[in-house]
Amino acid sequence: MTEPAPVFAGGVDHERLTSQLRFFLETDKLKRILRRNMLVDGARRENAAEHSWHLSLAARVFAEYAPEGADVDRVVEMLVLHDIVEIDAGDTFLYDTEGQSTQAERERAAADRIFALLPEDQAARARTLWDEFEARRTPDARFAKAIDRLAPMLANWHTEGGTWVRHGVTRAQVMDKVKIIAEGSEALGAYASALVEDADRRGYFSRG
């Protein structure tokens, strides 16, 4: 990785700023990680950085549907951070059973490396938020995960089945993800259920 340019500003902890710059430049790599989902207009596949930005925006837009006690600022921060590990681990398709079996291990190793580029205090906060998102035990994490699961469903519906059709995904497989959405937001879960019903009527799911 290219080192950050020298800094000569007075009154700045140069070592701290260099660590922050190193992390910032490293995360630019997220822009080149392609996901399976297409953009809503079907023009091309989205990248992981676009995905993270869009989810962060969604947390603000859908804030009124968050569960009681959720802190939307923390949710946004989780969503900004949650896929940074894909720089090393790559994007694991939601319905790839083999990939899912090694995902947690690959992503933990990536989190160990990438977040450690930050100064110690920022690294600890980033890792805590990432771990919280993965564990899905708090209202913040459940709402963040709900948004993360809803976004590709919307993309698939708007691209006539998208990855559901291309990979032979069944209605039952998608409904398993709807449960996660409902855990984080009753309103968004109800919407996702209706979306799946409509997708089923349109023939977007495999009958296998």
The CATH number assigned to the domain holding 99 equals 1.10.3210.10
Q: How far apart are CA 77 and CA 141, in angstroms?
A: 11
Query: For position 20, what pLDDT does the model report?
Result: 98
Residue 11's pLDDT band, with cuts at 50, 70 and 90, is confident
Q: Would residue 35 count as lying in a domain?
A: yes
pLDDT above 90 covers a percentage of the chain that reads 93
Q: Would residue 127 count as lying in a domain?
A: yes
Average pLDDT of the segment spanning 111-117: 98
- 152-205 per-position pLDDT tens digit: 999 999 999 999 999 999 999 999 999 999 999 999 999 999 999 999 999 999
Q: Would residue 190 count as lying in a domain?
A: yes
Average pLDDT of the segment spanning 22-44: 96
Q: How far apart are CA 126 and CA 77, in angstroms?
A: 9
Count: domains in the chain: 1
Q: Would residue 76 count as lying in a domain?
A: yes
Q: What are phi and psi of 204, to 5 degrees?
A: -85, -10
pTM strictly above 0.75 = yes
Tokens of 191: 């919407």
Q: Would residue 4 count as lying in a domain?
A: no
Query: For position 98, what pLDDT does the model report?
Result: 93
Q: Would residue 47 count as lying in a domain?
A: yes
Tokens of 190: 């109800």
Q: Would residue 22 count as lying in a domain?
A: yes
Query: For position 5, what pLDDT does the model report?
Result: 62
Domain containing residue 130: 16-201
- 135-152 per-position pLDDT tens digit: 999 999 999 999 999 999
Query: For position 65, what pLDDT does the model report?
Result: 98
Q: Helices 120-135 and 72-81: crossing angle, nearest 10°?
A: 100
